[in-house]
Amino acid sequence: MTDFLLRDVNFPDDAEAVAEVLSVANPGWPTTAELVLHANEHRDPSFYFTEVLAEQSGRVVGVGEIGHDTFSHEDWRYWGNVSVHPDARGQGIGTAMYDELLRRVQERGARELRTMLGDQPQDEPGAAFLKARGFDPRWERYESSLHTRDVNLTSFDDLMTQVAAGGLALRSLAELSGPDHERWLYELDWLLFQDVPLGLTLTRRPFEQWVKDELQDPTLRPELSFVAVDPTRDDPLTGPYVGYSTIGWNPAGAYAYIGMTGVLREVRGRGVAKALKVAAMRALHAAGGGEIRTFNDAPNRAMLTMNAALGFRRTATRTRYELRLDGEQ
């Protein structure tokens, strides 16, 4: 066993080392130094966030981070993660980082901690770590995937014709412009998220932060992300937009992933959400093809059924763990 020390992160110098630890600790969702730096530079400064690194023989072997749960914010609720390089596990490094992060947020009056973990073999030590500290599994999210080469994309021709005949056009984000289109997307995104069964009370981001998080995300592929447009509609909030589906690209893992997919309530039942995903699949196939991953919460039966009909197959389950520090349940 080699001694280690804890220290604060120093960007940009530590970006490569942080990305390496995060990637080997979570190989299903690898990252890059560029993405680490982007997240650090575009984080909302109105929320608390702190990081700690574990260094051993001059090498970063652990990354711990914790901050306000910005997705469902309460000043006493925090979301965190501790990652240790597989080569350095079993030496108390994860415990030391956890204890330090816990100390920092308890000084701020933390009452609840949240994190998320998968069910793959490499996640088993993490699950045991959480349970030993009193974390309870509270919510499941399913990961599914398909490869465009395995899908008969012509089988959806009738669906695409039906949607077009209903007066809706599917336009990629790359095609959209105008002074209001970002604001329309922002309002649409918020309306759609109200109907996603997440088991959370959502916190709305300011428009400027939403643009940074979503439209300026370096992984977003605008040419693969589509919006359903009704040219006869002029809604004061969403303009002519009635639905959308976004696609990101993980440069470290070389796969695409679906962000948000949804349509307004009055447009449901017409196959629009499915058509948006088909449009993305066709665009990715035309660009060379590849794997697409998607994530859906367990109660979202409608989207899980739709994804299965498109060819997605379940690959993993991610569980949200929670720890009440005040003894409440």
- Residue 260: both structure tokens together: 């948000």
Note the pLDDT of residue 317. Answer: 96
Distances (CA, A) of 176 to 152, 168, 179, 181: 28, 15, 10, 7
Nearest CA to 98 among 57, 139, 63, 58? 63
Q: Which residue has the tokens 């711990």?
A: 64
Question: For the chain, where do the domains classified as CATH 3.40.630.30 start and end?
Answer: 5-110, 144-319
- Residue 267: both structure tokens together: 């447009």
CA distance 275 to 133: 45
* 3-class DSSP state of 94: helix
What's the pLDDT tens digit per position in 206-233? 999 999 999 999 999 999 999 999 999 9
Averaged pLDDT, 40-61: 97
Contact 63, 20 (CB under 8 A): no
Fold for domain 144-319?
A: Aminopeptidase (3.40.630)
Count how many residues are written for the chain: 329
Residue 151, phi then psi, degrees to nearest 5: -115, 135
Supply the mean pLDDT for the chain. Answer: 96
Q: Of 103-112, 118-127, 311-320, which range is least confident? A: 118-127
Averaged pLDDT, 141-145: 96
Residue 316, phi then psi, degrees to nearest 5: -165, 165
Note the pLDDT of residue 326. Answer: 85
Averaged pLDDT, 262-269: 95
* Four-residue CA torsion sign, 316, 192, 202, 174: positive
pLDDT band at 89 (very low <50, low <70, confident <90, very high): very high
pLDDT band at 327 (very low <50, low <70, confident <90, very high): confident
Q: pTM (2 decimals)?
A: 0.93
Instruction: Give me the CATH code for the 5-110 domain, please.
Output: 3.40.630.30
Residue 201, phi then psi, degrees to nearest 5: -95, 115
pLDDT band at 162 (very low <50, low <70, confident <90, very high): very high
CA distance 132 to 324: 14
Count CB neighbours of 231 within 10 A: 9
Q: With 90 as the cut, is the pLDDT of residue 182 above it?
A: yes
- Residue 320: both structure tokens together: 């949200």
Q: What is the DSSP string of 183-223?
A: HHHHHHHHHHHTTS--SS---PPPHHHHIIIIIT-TTB-GG
Cis peptide upstream of residue 12 (ω within 30 degrees of 0): yes
Between strands 291-297 and 112-118, the pairing is unpaired
pLDDT band at 199 (very low <50, low <70, confident <90, very high): confident
* 3-class DSSP state of 276: helix
Angle at 261 between CA 293 and CA 205, to 5 degrees: 105
Note the pLDDT of residue 328. Answer: 67
